[in-house]
Structure 1
Amino acid sequence: MTAPSHHDAAAGTLPRHQLLDERGEVREDPALSPYVEDLTLEDLQHLYRSMTAARRVDKEGTSLQRQGQLVLWVPLRGQEAAQVGSAWPTRPTDRLFPSYREHAVAFERGVRPAELMQLFRGITAGGWDPEEHQMNLYTMVLASQVPHAVGYAMGTALDRRAAESEGTPPETEPEAVVAYFGDGASTEGEIHESMVFAASYDAPVLFFIQNNQWAISVPFATQSRVPLATRAAGYGFEGLRVDGNDVLGVVAATRYALEKLRAGEGPVLIEAETYRMGAHTTADDPTKYRERDEEDEWGHLDPIERLRVHLRTHHDVDDEFFETVARENDELAHELRAEVLAMTPPAFEESFAKAYAEPHSLVEAERAEYLDYQAGFTTQDDPRDTETGGTGA
């Protein structure tokens, strides 16, 4: 079985790359195979651990939201290979700009699950230190992170050129920037504007599209008449289509793209064709717009299952490894739940200090007004107390 595609005929000469098929067999791809020849068994096991850990955290996130412990949760089930496969090849100095579903990317960059959950618990608008992990905070406004990514990439390239012109070239290799967004966001104007600027300035940015086939309830066939990777040609840079459920293919495509970015060859676009197995968010009901047959068809293309089969059949990985990973993931979920339940919201008045970086007279006046309003509930006696002998009944 091959991955369903609405637009194979429109793809023209743009191939769809795949290295690890749905049966766990490795295929030869002259363009990308060389980029994964050095992968060891340890590397493959790391990819498997990361993908399964992300799925286990995702399951716990849904459970916590259903139990009223999270305001919202955004499931990633089905997109683990696209996320882990694209984040793992990056360097610690590269900068990543996520949207709001890149949980596996965040974990691969060292963000703790509990840090990420703070946002969905309503504790904070962030959750982790972007400078520590070289990964920006989640962006809830669709596509708004992509102009930020391009601007950052333009800045790093200009800084590097300025240093070289002064005769003091940087000691480190060039940074790369990765901008994550989905097929739904690809229809936003910010994406077009970002690609225009990226092409004009040869910005070292990888546009990584996770085409999960649905923009909430709108199918991809309605969003675009052509594969999204073909759009890159209109801006003058390279676009690649890759099986987004094939972690080896995603690793190879990402390595290829990062190599071009570091060589100063301008931006690259990767369209990872995958599938959102669950709901858009926990506020969504996909049964209202999606057929079960479609979900079953994509279920046979599960990215984790194909890597599991590959490890068993081609690397003699036994049950002990998989059982150990499952136990570790359950422990991770148990610890996460305990941390989430222990989270307490900050006092509301603390939010006034977050409006501006420096003190602001108008904000201080509003804060004083709020505190005075709150004080009115605690200092005034309830007249009912006198009438009822202090019971208030």
Structure 2
Amino acid sequence: MSVEAVTQRIRDAAQRGETLRIRGGGTKDFYGEPARGEELSTLGLSGITAYEPSELVVTVRAGTRLAELEAVLAERGQCLAFEPLHFAEGTTVGGMVAAGLAGPARASAGPVRDYVLGVTIVNGRGELLSFGGTVMKNVAGYDVSRLMVGALGTLGLIAEVSLKVLPVAPAEATLRFDMTQAEALRRLNEWGGQPLPLNASWWAAEQGRGTLSLRLRGAVAAVDAACRTLGGERLRSEEAAPQWLACRDQRLPGFAPREGGDLWRISVPQTAPVLELGDTLVEWHGAQRWVQARPGEGARIRDAAQRAGGHATLFRPRDAGATQRFTPLAPPLDRIHRELKREFDPAGVFNRGRLYPDF
């Protein structure tokens, strides 16, 4: 389906009062509230429309497979530094931006929105709009392009996106340490205050043994010096690489919901202590914690996250009609969200209910 056909479909839906459910590869259907409406696929909007390796910028249509884009970048020794998640082979670039989920390297590289330079969207009136551009300095005032990151398609259909890319680091090493969660959090905070090429980390306990995996990336001399300074067990690259892919794509045991349980994602300051919520996997140097819990424990988890200065999301619920996925918004933020929705999608055409049941 062409951009023109998509635009006309949206105009027709707005005129008839219909709701459309935007969908790319469908690999994140579980994330967020169940969206309502007739499916509107973005898979026909595919292809890399511009790539300037020397400028570190690529422009891609939303339905392009993420694996296809990453393969093209890899040929030129470049990558998406935030390490986007691949839940399945069908992951698309548009879905990556709409969900705003970054992988293990987010702790050092930054979030998805930091790499979005510009977008072309179709709003709820069926208007084709472009925001931002292909250079960082092109943004002045309110950065609408980054507003689309994490909006889960509630504000508009992403047709095309321009992304900043970075060279692949010349050196990488993974160190493994045996330690408790409390010790891992303490050490990660200490290391974070030192000039070390820290890139990613994850801690988990299996069979009563806590293990911290730490990935270093950067110049060869810097990585080698950090390995000597930090100690630990240095893993061979052929052993470490599959583990980091499993962490990125949430295939580690700590991500699999226990039988009859839910998987919660907790975002807190890196300095937050152990939350004592049960089985936990820690990422992003302590800033992201994954917790296994029984249904009905949402209030306890959200209270613990709030007391630690963060918030909690029901990431993979056992029951489709379970607790509200995202933390309820404070009144001022709720008002801003609703006003933005009315501005971009006044007729409520897109992904109704995907962020919040009544939004």
Asked whether the two chains share a fold, i.e. TM above 0.5, the reply is no
More strand by share: 2
The structure carrying a bigger helix percent of its residues is: 1
TM, length-normalised to structure 1:
0.26
How high is the TM-score relative to the length of structure 2? 0.27
Structure with higher Rg: it is 1
Structure showing greater relative contact order (alpha-carbon pairs closer than 8 Å, 6 or more residues apart): 1
